[in-house]
Amino acid sequence: MTSTRVLTGITTTGTPHLGNYVGAIRPAIAASQDESVQSYYFLADLHALIKASDPKRVQQSRLEIAATWLALGLDTDNAIFYRQSDIHETTELAWMLSCVCAKGLMNRAHAYKAAVAENEEGGSPDPDRGITMGLFSYPVLMAADILMFNANRVPVGRDQVQHIEMARDMAGRFNHLYKGNYFTLPEAVVDERVQTLNGLDGRKMSKSYDNTIPLFSSEKKLLKLIRKIKTNSLEPGKPKDPETCTLFQIYSAFASESEEQAMRTRYAEGIGWGDAKNAVFEHLNAQLEGPRGEYERLMQDPDHIESVLQKGAERARAEANTLLERLRPAVGLGRFV
């Protein structure tokens, strides 16, 4: 058995965009090919229910995200790729963890505190107005996702570090109460080198801002979106600063060092914004053309995607069952004979 286990969840609440690819998908897929690491990648579709109330959108997002990861080369022989909702043991573990988790810990969760603050700022007499138990307790479900496979490392953004600390708290409390070394205490991994792309309006690329470029847009749509990227009013012939330019940032995220340097030279020479946008489109389109074709093929073959996920779920459930068979008697739920 490999000594290092890495787990990553992918929330199924939208269409993957360039920012998702650069910030999370690309490094995760590279890691999936490292045979010295056992990687777990799962579609966090139960988490998606907290915010998404349209079942058709949730279903479509699950399909799109699974197809995206497979089209981009996820190694499903080495990594275990599965749907969260297929591992029923996870919700059983979440209940066990809920029974050792202090409510005060959940009161301090960033998402819950932000929702309460929004209600208070809006003058609501009920600070919990509109807040579901899903939102309140989802750090427990996240802890179950992680602890089910005793992941050593969990790559997250800085805003998610608190959830890993909560998982450590629950794991340590369970181990203490039931006098055993049942769970590994996971470590948050924040890679400061991971790039954050800006979107069409210059802000961070995010579905919340409606400023994204879907990863597998058609050629026509990709060109249209790139032409909408906000630039300044400098005319052709005037030197331009690549460090403050969204166009250059997106280009460099997909470019080699020599390609990036060549584009820097064109900026210094005063490339026109129209020419810059055309160059960015041509470069991105050339890199995405192959995966886009594979993505479109996979979207027309959901049976294949389902078979891949079922194989992953079978592997994941085998491990999950082994752990639950150990945990049930530990808490007094085991068989009589």
Q: Minimum mean pLDDT among 11-15, 65-69, 161-165: which range?
A: 11-15
Has 307 been labeled as part of a binding site?
Answer: no
34 a known binding residue? no
More confident residue, 110 or 193: 110
Query: What is the average per-residue pLDDT within 255-282?
Result: 96
* Contact (Cβ atoms closer than 8 angstroms) between residue 283 and residue 267: no
Helix crossing, 273-299 with 55-71: angle to 10°?
Answer: 100
State the greatest distance between any 2 C-alpha atoms of the chain, in Å, as a whole number.
83
Separation of first and last alpha carbons in the chain: 31
> Is 166 marked within a binding site?
no
**By mean pLDDT, which of 19-28, 189-198, 255-264 is the weakest?**
189-198
Q: Is 62 annotated as a binding residue?
A: no
Helix axis angle, 257-268 to 246-253, nearest 10°: 160
Say if residues 196 and 20 touch (Cβ distance below 8 Å). Answer: no
51 annotated among ligand-binding-site residues: no
272 in a known ligand binding site: no
pLDDT of residue 183: 98
pTM: 0.89
Put residue 123 in one of left, alpha, beta given phi > 0 → left and psi -120 to 50 → alpha: left
Asked if the model's pLDDT at residue 1 lies above 60, the reply is no
Give the DSSP letter of residue 238: S
Residue 169, marked binder:
no
Query: Is 123 part of any known ligand binding site?
Result: no
Residue 158 assigned to a binding site: yes
| pLDDT of 311 higher than 70 | yes
Q: pLDDT digit string (tens) for 203-231? A: 999 888 999 999 999 999 999 999 999 99
pLDDT per position as a tens digit, 147-181 = 999 999 998 888 889 999 999 999 999 999 999 99
Contact 39, 32 (CB under 8 A): yes
Would you say 19 is a known binding-site residue?
yes
Tell me the mean pLDDT in the region 242-260: 94
- Which residue's entry shows tokens 């060092």? 257
- Tell me whether residue 159 is annotated as binding: yes
Across all residues in the chain, what is the average pLDDT? 94
Q: What is the pLDDT of residues 81-110, one digit of tens each?
A: 999 999 999 999 999 999 999 999 999 999
Question: Does 145 count as an annotated binding residue?
Answer: yes
**Is 246 annotated in some ligand binding site?**
no
Given a cut of 90, whether residue 276 has pLDDT beyond it is yes
